[in-house]
Amino acid sequence: MRIKLEHGAGGELMEEFIKDVILKNLTLKSAGGIGLDALDDAATIPFGDRHLVFTIDGHTVKPIFFPGGDIGRLAISGTVNDLAVMGAEPLALANSMIIQEGFSGEDLEKILKSMDETAKEVPVPIVTGDTKVVEDKIGIFVITAGIGIAERPISDAGAQIGNVVLVSGTVGDHGIALMSHREGIAFETELKSDVAPVWEVVKAVAEAIGWENIHAMKDPTRGGLSNALNEIARKSNVGILVREADIPVKPEVKAASDMLGISPYEVANEGKVVMVVAREYAEEALKAMKKSRLGKDAAIIGEVIDQYRGKVILETGIGGKRFMEPPLGDPVPRVC
């Protein structure tokens, strides 16, 4: 086979590729907790009465500086967010950079300063790293790994019938902002990426309702909200019903999506969390989200149902229903 861009784009093709090629050729895939076979946002390692949570991300965004952020902020946020949605407080990060020969030293310093500022928001230290310079015309790739600690790890397979689904803010911002920037689409107010570390949102909800009442979480990056919801539904063997009227989407994102022929539900977000909580704590969870710095547009968007197990149903604005299918791949390449 030949590797295609779609094999790394976060949709169904990527999942098939991982299962049919990567997982098939590896043997030792678990350290006693959630391992590689689970294809969750991170792995867990039992450590006494707690769990170490470990994740790694490669970042290859184009352009490397974009409205609302850059590859450095993206790298730190992406890794912190993978830890956060597993219920883990970030402890430390590692940073590896593969840099093209001739890359601007000034741009590299901008990226490093951005990484430092983003890490301080959490806060989480960058404690180790590696640097390579290559002849290939790649610009810069940033690979970040992170380790955190969780009292009670949260899987994306824990949704239960009757649970309520929340999202911490408007969807589609990151992918549509980058695509609009590439295509030169201008708005009266500049559309910006949502890239940010979401640990403070997750922590705020956990402090308000307890970790035991958060049943599943997902970082809706590649493949967007649609892919995140479908993964939760399939892995939990439940149906999920979401209401289009309740999904927060910025007018600029909707307008750009219509112009580009892209669904905002299928493109990457880099500063949001999808959370599934016990019904009796849904309003309290929403209140906690909205009080946090990043959660002012948080919303309850749906519920977990007994029908259509493994599927996501979208109730449209006119009252009809259709399947919200997972994308084959992210329609906006090289955004994370």
- Residues of each domain in the chain carrying CATH 3.30.1330.10: 31-150
Pair 154, 85: CB distance under 8 Å: yes
Residue 149, pLDDT score: 98
pTM over 0.85: yes
Secondary structure string (H, E, C) spanning the chain? CCCCHHHHCCCHHHHHHHHHHHHHHCCCCCCCCCCHHHCCCCEEEEECCEEEEEEEEEECCCCCEECCEEHHHHHHHHHHHHHHCCCCEEEEEEEEEEEECCCCHHHHHHHHHHHHHHHHHCCCCEEEEEEEEECCCCCEEEEEEEEEEECCCCCCCCCCCCCEEEECCCCCHHHHHHHHHHHCCCCCCCCCCCCCCCHHHHHHHHHHHCHHHEEEEECCCCCHHHHHHHHHHHHHCCEEEEEHHHCCCCHHHHHHHHHHCCCHHHCCCCCCCEEEECHHHHHHHHHHHHHCCCCCCCEEEEEEECCCCCCEEEECCCCCEEECCCCCCCCCCCCC
Q: Read off the tokens for 332.
A: 């906006």
Is 80 exceeded by the pLDDT of residue 189?
no
188 confidence band (pLDDT: 50, 70, 90): low
Query: What residue has token string 């593969």?
Result: 98
Q: Specify the CATH number of the domain 164-323.
A: 3.90.650.10
Confidence at residue 47, expressed as pLDDT on a 0 to 100 scale: 94
pLDDT at residue 44, as a whole number: 98
pLDDT at 328: 79
C-alpha 37/C-alpha 335 separation (Å) is 25
Q: Quick one: which of 244, 224, 242, 243 has its CA closest to 171?
A: 224
pLDDT band at 235 (very low <50, low <70, confident <90, very high): very high
Average pLDDT, the chain: 95
The encoded tokens of residue 308 equal: 């259509």
pLDDT digits (tens, 9 = 90+) for 262-307: 999 999 999 999 999 999 999 999 999 999 999 999 999 999 999 9
220 confidence band (pLDDT: 50, 70, 90): very high
The gap from C-alpha 122 to its chain's centroid, in whole angstroms, comes to 16
Angle between helices 71-84 and 199-209 (to 10 degrees): 20
Look at residue 185 and tell me whether its pLDDT is greater than 80.
no
Q: Which range, of 14-28, 83-97, 112-126, 158-172, averages the lowest pLDDT?
A: 14-28
Comparing 328 with 85, the larger pLDDT belongs to: 85
Model confidence pLDDT, tens digit, residues 68-115: 999 999 999 999 999 999 999 999 999 999 999 999 999 999 999 999
CATH number of 31-150: 3.30.1330.10
How far is it, in rounded angstroms, from Cα 248 to Cα 137?
Answer: 39
Q: Where do you find CATH 3.90.650.10 in the chain?
A: 164-323
pLDDT above 90 (res 212) = yes
Residue 93's Cβ-side half-sphere holds a number of Cα atoms within 13 Å equal to 29
Confidence at residue 14, expressed as pLDDT on a 0 to 100 scale: 84
Are the beta carbons of 152 and 109 closer than 8 angstroms?
A: no
Quick one: average pLDDT of 17-41? 95
